[in-house]
Every structure is written in structure tokens, then in C-alpha cells.
Structure 1
């Protein structure tokens, strides 16, 4: 979000007095006179009634008032401005509707950018920005990705508690904005803030992480979740069993689980039909790992679909780019050239090692061959000369 800086070439006390007069003209219960206690008290009183201008619904006027407040606020030393900043944040996060909410977001973003990178107030301001972004569906205006967010607070590191609170809210906002992939990454970051000692306190976060990953139609590799300490703590519980099915089991295993624990799956907010779709894709990936050639009959049987549904299913698989394959409709077969592994453990590392070793050997053979060819050409040139 690009917000132009605000520069007003008058003393902040005079600026505050003009704001007082303007708000009073709109019906605000505020005196036009300056506070004898100084600019901080002036700001408190102005912020307390600044929403008077919201009633008019004029975006330009609201933006002018809010930007004026920010331009005064940033000139107050941080140690004296903390309560003022918090009051301003609270005022702007109260639902103002879609249009004025976006104006409030711009004003708060201006404040955030104006604060020193080492200021501890950047955290509460950003947290309130997320709250407004949730109301206005404007998360893209203030959030790019997790790495960029970390960079934002690199000069003023956050505590684990602050990070956890921030990640939880960010996860909610991203989900609401249908950014499930980013939401999943944020949730993994959240679980990564727990240690061996605190992992047992992350149960709800871990469950939310698992259900979000399962429900996300674009997340297919869930193996990394098993290594997270808070997820490991859930071992032996139904949610962990369900995760394991999506990590390494097939459709039959899921259907058996669902038959025995239908109410549990529903209570997690998971949709059975969507789970079936994902498990069919994952089951096909599993088939493709060890079978470079798969008949339509095998696919129909393993995935429990009708034979006439095989071709549309394969097309859907190819669209995900999880598997590279060629379909032969006449032979009623699928020829697999490559597939993404659902898990990447010791066996996969060994397979990769063997592949790289084979490449190295082949390159050595090619290199020796090129040396022989080069030597022969040099010899021919010498004979000709």
C-alpha cells in the first residue's frame, strides 16, 4: 500500500487547535481551546472524538482528519506517545464500514511506516492493521509473505507470545481472504514458536494447523507437519491418525477412518467430499511412485470411481502438476514420467543419492568420451599440417 507522507507547515499545537475547531463544528463535544497539559492531552481529546467526522461519510474529509492526527502524533517522542498511539489504533479498529475502513487502514499504515524500525509500537500498530484488514478484506495491502513480515520486525524482535498472537490473527485473516496457502505457512510458523517445554500448550494451534492443511484444496504434501513438536504431542489422538492417513495412506484407509469416526471428521469442520477428492489425488500419486504404467481398470478400482470417470480424473491430476504423465485412451493406460513424493524420508534420500551418483558416473563417461574425441581431432590436424 502506497500512502503519501503528510507534511503541514504549521506548529503542531496550532494544527491540533484547528482539528479541535473542525471537530467541534461537526458536533463533537470538545473545546476549541488548547489543553494546558500539552500536546499529548490535546491528542487524547481529539482522538476521543475524531469519529465524529465518520458520521458524514465523506472519505476525503475523514482521510484529512486522520492524516492530520498522524502527522502530529509522529512528532511526539515515542515514550510519551504510547498511550496516544494505542488509543488511535483502538478508535480506528471499531467497525467503520468497508469504505471508511479502507481510509482507516491507510491512515494506520501511514502511522506504521512513520514509526522508527526499532520502535516497540510497531507491533501493536501492525496488529490493529490486521484487524482492520480482516474487516475490509485488504490483507494484500499490508502483508506479502512470512519472510517479509519477519524482516519488518528484524530491528525490534518480538517475544514468542507476541509472535503467537500475531500469527494466530494473521492466520484468521488469510483464511477469511481465501489465501489458504499463505495461511498454512503462517500456521507452521506459529507452531515453530513452541519449544519442547511449551509444545503441550499448543494443542489447539496444532489441531487448527492440521485441519487447515487437510481442508486446503491446494495443499498435498503434509509430511512436514509430523516433525512439528506440537503436532507430535498429538500422537495417539484421532486428529493425528487422520493426518497420517493424508500423509501416507490411501483412499481405503480414509474411508475406513471416516466410517468409524464420521462425527469426529464433521466436528473438525472438514468436508467429506473434499477429503475424498484430495485422498483420490494422493492415492494416485502413491500409485504413480512405483508404477510407471497404470491401467484405467486399476485406477478405477483403487480410487473407487467409475471407468468413465477415469479420464476426467487424470486430467484433473495433470492440472495440479503433482504428476507428469501421458494418457493413452486407446490402450486405456496412463504412462507416468515423474511424480511428486508424498513423503520424503530415508528411502527418498537414498533414491536421490543413487540418481545423483548415476548422473555423476554418466557425466564422467561423457567427459572421457569428449577427451578421446578431442585427442583424435588434434591428431588428425597435426597429421594434416
Structure 2
């Protein structure tokens, strides 16, 4: 997000007095007189009534006022500005409406960028930025990716509790903005903050991680979740059993689980029809791993779909790019050239090793052949000369 710098060529006290007068003119309960306690008390009182300027249709004026406040705030030593900054953050999260919310987001982003990289106030300011971004659906303007976020706090490392709180909120905001892939990465980072000692306390986060991954229509590789400590603590529970089905089982296994635990699936906020769609795709991937030539009859039987729906289903599979294949309608078959593995364990590593070894042998053979051709050409040229 690009925000303009604020430069005002008057003293902080005069600037604060102008803000007092302006807010009083809008009906705010504030005196025009400077506080005898100094600029910090002035700011407290100004921030306390600054919502008086929150009027739709006056967004440009609101932004000027908020930027004025920021320009004063950043000149106060951080150790004395903590309460002022927190009060300002709280006020901005309460701005009504989309346009005013966006104005407040820009003003708070200006404050965030103005803070020293080592300032402990960067965390609460960024947290409130996320709260506003959640209300305005503007998270893209303040969040690029998880690695960039980590860099933001390199100079002021967060405690485990702060990091967990930040990741939880960020996960919610990203889901609301339909950035499911980024949200999944954030949730995995969140679970990664737990250690062997406190992993058992991450139950809710682990369950949320599993249900989010299952519900996300674009997440198909769920195997990595099983290695996370907080997830492993759920072993033996229904949610862990359901995860295992999406990791390595087929549609029939899911339908059996759903029949026996219908209320549980619904209680987790999961949609059965969406689960069915994902399990059909996953089951097809599983078929494609072992069977390069799949008949329509097998697809109908294994995925429990009607004959007239097979072709449209295959087209849907190909659109996901999970499987590379060619469909032959006349032969009623699908010819698979490659597929993404649902799990990547010892067997897959062995398969990859064998493939690379085969390539190495083939390349060596080609290289030897080229050497022979080169030698023959050299001998022929020598004979000609």
C-alpha cells in the first residue's frame, strides 16, 4: 500500500491546537485550549474524540485529520507513546463503512511504516491493521506472503503467544478474502509454533487447520498435516480419522464414515456435497497412480457417478491440473500420462529414485552414442584428408 508522507511546517503544539479546534467545530466535546500537561495529553484528548470526523462523503478530510494525528504521534518517543498508539488503533477499527475503513487502513499503515523496525509497537499496530482489513476486505494491501510477514518482525521478534494470536487472525482474514492457499500456509505456520511441550494445548488450532484444509476446494495434498505435532495429538479422534480418509482413502471410505458420523461432519462446519466432490477427485487421482488406462465403467463404479456425468467429471479433473490425461470418448477410456501423488512416503521416494536412475542410464547411453558418432566422423575426416 502506498501512502503519502506527512509534512507540516508548524510546531506540534500548534498542530494539536488546530486539530482541537477542528474537532470542536464538528461537535466533539473537547476544548480548543492546549493541555497544560503537554502534547501527549493533547493527543490523548484528540484521539478520544477523533471519531467526530468519521462522516461518509468526507473521506478526504478524514484522511487529512488522521494523517495529522499520525504526524504528531511519530515524533513522540515510543516508550511514552504506547497508550496513545493503542488508543488510536482502537478508534480506527471502529470507523463505519467501507470507504472510511479504507481511509483508516491507510492512516494506520502510515503509522506502521513510520515506526522503527525495532519498535515493540509494530505488533499491535499490525494486528489492528488486520482487524480493519478483515472489515474492508483489503488484506492484499498489507499482506504479501508469510515469508514477507516474518521479515517485518525480524528486528522485533514476537513471543510465541503473540505470533499465535497474529496467525489466527491472519488465517481468518485470508479465508474471508478467499485466499485459501495463503490461509492454509498461515495455519501450518501457526501449528508449527507449538513444541512437544505445548502441542497438546493446540487442539482447537489443529482442528481448525484440518477442517479448513478439507473444506478448501483447492487443497488436495493433506498428507503434510499428519506430521504436525498438534495434529498427531488428535490421533484416535474422529477428526483425525476423517483427515486420514482425505489423505489416503477413497470415496467409499468417506461415505461409510459420513453414514456413521453424519452429525459430527456437520458440526465441524463441513459441507457433505463439497466433501463428495473433493473425494471423487482424490479417488480418481488414486486410480490414476496405479492405472494409466481407466475405463468409464470403473470411473462410474468407483466414483459413484452416472454414465452421462463421466465426461464432464473428467473435464473437471483435467481443469484442476492434478492429472494429465487424454480422454477417448469412442473407446470410453481415459489415458493417464501423469498425476500428483496424494501422499509422498517411502514408496514415492523409491519410485522417484528409480526414475532418476533410469534417466541417468539413458543419458549415459546417449552420451556414449554421441561419442561414437563423433569418433566415427573424426576418423572419416582424417581418411578424407
Same fold, judged at TM 0.5 (above) = yes
Partner of 1:131: 131
CA distance in 1 between counterparts of 2:333 and 2:15 reads 77
CA distance in 2, matches of 1:55, 1:309: 54
Question: 1:363, 1:162 → 2: CA distance?
Answer: 53
Alpha-carbon distance, 1:57 to partner: 4.6
In structure 2, how many angstroms separate the alpha carbons of the residues matched to 1:278 and 1:27?
A: 57
**What corresponds to 1:315 in structure 2?**
315
Residue 36 of structure 1 and its aligned partner are, at CA, apart by 1.5
Give the superposition deviation at 1:95: 4.0
Alignment check: 8 A CA contact 1:6 1:67 kept: yes
Cα deviation for residue 380 of structure 1 reads 1.4
Give the TM-score normalised by structure 2: 0.99
What CA distance in whole angstroms lies between the structure 1 residues aligned with 2:375 and 2:57?
84
Equivalent pair of 2:51/2:95 in contact (CA under 8 Å):
no
Q: 2:83 is matched with which residue? A: 83
Whole-angstrom CA distance in 2 between matches of 1:52 and 1:281: 54
For the residues of structure 2 that align with 1:178 and 1:376, how far apart are their CA atoms? 63
Alignment match, 1:342: 342
Match of 1:260? 260
**Other-structure match for 1:380:** 380
Q: 2:251 — aligned with what?
A: 251
- Find the counterpart in structure 2 of residue 190 from structure 1: 190
SS in 2 for 1:327: strand
Counterparts of 2:57 and 2:74 in 1: how far apart (Å)?
A: 26
Write the distance in 2 (CA, Å) between the matches of 1:320 and 1:27: 57
Q: Deviations over 1:40-91 (max 9, x none)?
A: 1111111011111114651011101000000010111111111110110011
How far has the Cα of 1:34 moved from its partner? 1.2
1:150-299 mapped onto 2 (5 Å cutoff): 150-299=150-299
Q: SS at 1:334's partner residue?
A: strand
Equivalent in the alignment of 2:145: 145
Gaps of 5+ in 2: none
Q: C-alpha separation between the residues in 2 aligned to 1:289 and 1:56? A: 58
Between stretches 107-116 and 372-381, larger displacement belongs to 372-381
Give how far 1:37 is off. Answer: 1.2
Deviates more, 1:267-276 or 1:15-24: 15-24
> How many residues are aligned here?
385
Runs of 4+ in 1 over 6 A off after TM superposition: none
- Could you tell me how far apart the structure 2 residues matched to 1:7 and 1:124 are? 25
The answer to whether the 8 A contact 1:95-1:135 is kept is no
Root mean square deviation, CA, Å: 0.9
Match of 1:301 in 2: 301
Instruction: Give the match for residue 326 of structure 2.
Output: 326
Moved more, 214-223 or 374-383: 374-383
SS in 2 for 1:211: helix
Tell me the TM-score normalized by structure 1. 0.99
Q: Secondary structure at the match of 1:338?
A: strand
Question: Is this contact kept in 1: 2:109–2:129, CA < 8 A?
Answer: yes
Task: Determine if the alignment matches structure 1 residue 116 to structure 2 residue 109.
Answer: no
- Structure 2 distance, partners of 1:185, 1:56, is 37
Q: Distance in 2 between matches of 1:192 and 1:104?
A: 32
Q: Which runs of 5+ in 1 are unaligned?
A: none
Q: Check conservation: 2:250, 2:282, Cα contact below 8 A.
A: yes
- CA shift digits 1:108-146 (9 cap, x unpaired): 000001111111100000000000011111111111111
Query: How far apart are the structure 2 equivalents of 1:364 and 1:148?
Result: 43
CA drift of 1:267 comes to 0.3
Contact 2:56 2:100 in 1 (8 A): no
3-state DSSP of counterpart to 2:54 = helix
Quote the residue 2:96 is aligned against: 96
Moved more, 216-225 or 176-185: 176-185
Match of 1:49 in 2: 49
3-state SS, counterpart of residue 335 of structure 1: strand
SS at match of 1:65: helix
Contact (CA 8 Å) 2:95, 2:104: kept in 1 or not? no
2:26 paired residue number: 26
